[in-house]
């Protein structure tokens, strides 16, 4: 069941990061309009949306492996799935992350390894034109994450870890933080010049931040 996690992101004072336009479990889009009840999730948002200019570089939120990519229809667009093992994230579970509405199909091969913070795709608006957002569509990243106790992915399958629950991507940053008892989640990030904060982090925001 998709419902809000209750987690609140805290972005750094020393950098400008693209923030969440529509959070996990929200019943409204970034523009305040209601999500249709017939949509996946019954009208509750199954990921987070980050409004971006087309072509913005998207980063691997952790080290991982490319397990699927392709092009879906309306509401999905061009997508990329990454698999992150416990060794990649230092978490106790496997994470599967899906980047949607990409500008073009990533060149990364199925099975390729990626590093945390590596550019894996570029933002776009595929799958958003012609519906609610009309002719111009809505350029953004929709980030979906699934949690699994096991490695559930068959290479090339269009759905990673089928049957495993969708989770708020903020859960990943929360569980990786030094203060997991708090609902306020300090967001770890990479800057446009390649710095990672905090030092030693194993997960970063999926879009680079600019130093202030």
Q: Between residues 157 and 85, which one has the greater pLDDT?
A: 85
Q: Between residues 75 and 143, which one has the greater pLDDT?
A: 143
Name beta bridge partners: 22: 49
For 42-72, give one letter per residue: b (16+ CB within 10 A) or e: eebbbbbbbbbeeebebbbbbbbbbbbbeee
In the block, tokens 């550019």 appear at 119
58 has a pLDDT exceeding 80: yes
For 186, the 3-state DSSP assignment is strand
- Taking all residues of the chain, what is their mean pLDDT, rounded to a whole number? 94
* Nearest-10 Cα torsion for 143, 90, 176, 99: -10
Among the residue ranges 53-67, 133-147, 177-191, the one predicted with the least confidence is 177-191
Among the residue ranges 126-135, 152-161, 164-173, the one predicted with the least confidence is 152-161
Query: Rounded to whole angstroms, what are the CA distances from 137 to 11, 50, 56, 129, 162?
Result: 27, 14, 16, 4, 28
Query: Rounded to whole angstroms, what are the CA distances from 161 to 73, 97, 186?
Result: 20, 10, 27
For 171, the 3-state DSSP assignment is helix
Per-residue pLDDT, 5? 96
- pLDDT-based confidence at 161, cuts 50/70/90? confident
pTM of this structure: 0.96
Domains of the chain in start order, with CATH, are 1-30+41-211 (2.70.70.10)
Taking alpha carbons only, the member of 157, 95, 128, 147 closest to residue 22 is 128
- Torsion sign, CA atoms 187, 175, 26, 151: positive
> How far is Cα 36 from Cα 80, in angstroms, rounded to an integer?
25
29 has a pLDDT exceeding 80: yes
Going by DSSP bridges, is the β-strand pair 210-211/57-59 parallel, antiparallel, or unpaired?
Answer: unpaired
């Amino acid at each position: 069941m998709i419902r809000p996690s209750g987690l609140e992101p805290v972005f750094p004072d020393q950098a400008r990061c693209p923030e969440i336009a529509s959070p996990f479990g929200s019943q409204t889009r970034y523009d305040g309009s209601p999500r249709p009840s017939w949509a996946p999730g019954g009208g509750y948002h199954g990921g987070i949306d980050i409004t971006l200019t087309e072509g913005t570089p998207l980063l691997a939120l952790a080290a991982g492996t490319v397990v699927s990519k392709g092009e879906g229809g309306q509401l999905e667009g061009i997508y990329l799935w990454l698999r992150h093992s416990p060794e990649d994230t230092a978490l106790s579970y496997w994470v599967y992350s899906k980047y949607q509405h990409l500008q073009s199909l990533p060149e990364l091969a199925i099975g390729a390894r990626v590093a945390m913070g590596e550019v894996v795709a570029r933002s776009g608006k595929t799958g958003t034109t012609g519906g609610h957002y009309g002719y111009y569509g809505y350029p953004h990243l929709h980030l979906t994450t699934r949690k699994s106790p096991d490695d559930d992915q068959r290479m090339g399958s269009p759905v990673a870890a089928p049957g495993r629950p969708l989770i708020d991507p903020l859960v990943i940053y929360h569980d990786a933080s030094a203060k997991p008892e708090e609902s306020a989640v300090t967001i770890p990030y990479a800057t446009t010049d390649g710095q990672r904060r905090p030092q030693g982090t194993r997960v970063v925001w999926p879009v680079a931040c600019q130093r202030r």
